[in-house]
Amino acid sequence: MNIVLNAVIAMVGLLAFACGSSEAVGVCRCPAARRGVTIELGCVPTAQPIVRTAADCFVCFADGSTPEGGHCAASLAPSELTLSRTDAGTCHLDVTFADGATSSLEVEFISQWRPCGSDPHGCGEALIPVTPSGSSGKLSLPAPGCSAGVDAGL
């Protein structure tokens, strides 16, 4: 009986050592998955610009409003907006500023699985935004509309 008990204790200790952590096995601390991109307008518009995009793309303004009259979580500077999707694909964004100036931007959202330990999909899927020029991260919209507002201090 003592031999069996010692063998079980040794196996549990070996398993804990092999995992390299005192955390529960299979638990990951995954950051929130990216699903959108912040777009810098280059200025603070005098009025909220008019935006157009495909039905599967979503825009959120700095004040937390959406073009459809809804609300979104926003912690943006007044000269920014976010563009997001729920799945991989391309978003074309057209922006019309208060003075009538227009600008557009195309962003492709590429699916990327995020690993957790030995599970290559353990932290879920992120959508990585990329422009045709290869830019990602915070993007800038071509800025003909900046005459419509206050310089953002860029």
Q: In this predicted model, what pLDDT tens digit does every residue of 11-43 receive, in sequence order?
A: 434 333 333 333 345 578 888 777 788 888 878
Quick one: pLDDT at residue 148?
41
Type of residue numbered 2:
N
Quick one: pLDDT at residue 59?
92
The secondary structure of the chain, three-state, reads CHHHHHHHHHHHHHHHHHHCCCCCCCCCCCCCCCCEEEEECCEEECCCCEEECCCCEEEEECCCECCCCCECCCCCCCCEEEEEECCCEEEEEEEECCCCCEEEEEEEEEEEECCECCECCCCCEEEEEECCCCCCCCEECCCHHHHHEEECCC
Quick one: pLDDT at residue 146?
62
Quick one: pLDDT at residue 15?
36
Q: Is the pTM above the cut of 0.75?
A: no
Quick one: pLDDT at residue 145?
52
pLDDT digits (tens, 9 = 90+) for 59-110: 998 888 888 877 887 778 888 889 998 889 999 999 988 888 888 989 999 9
Domain locations in the chain as residue ranges: 28-151
- Integer Cα distance of 39 and 30 in angstroms: 25
- Model confidence at 150: pLDDT above 90: no
- Model confidence at 130: pLDDT above 90: no
- Integer Cα distance of 27 and 3 in angstroms: 32
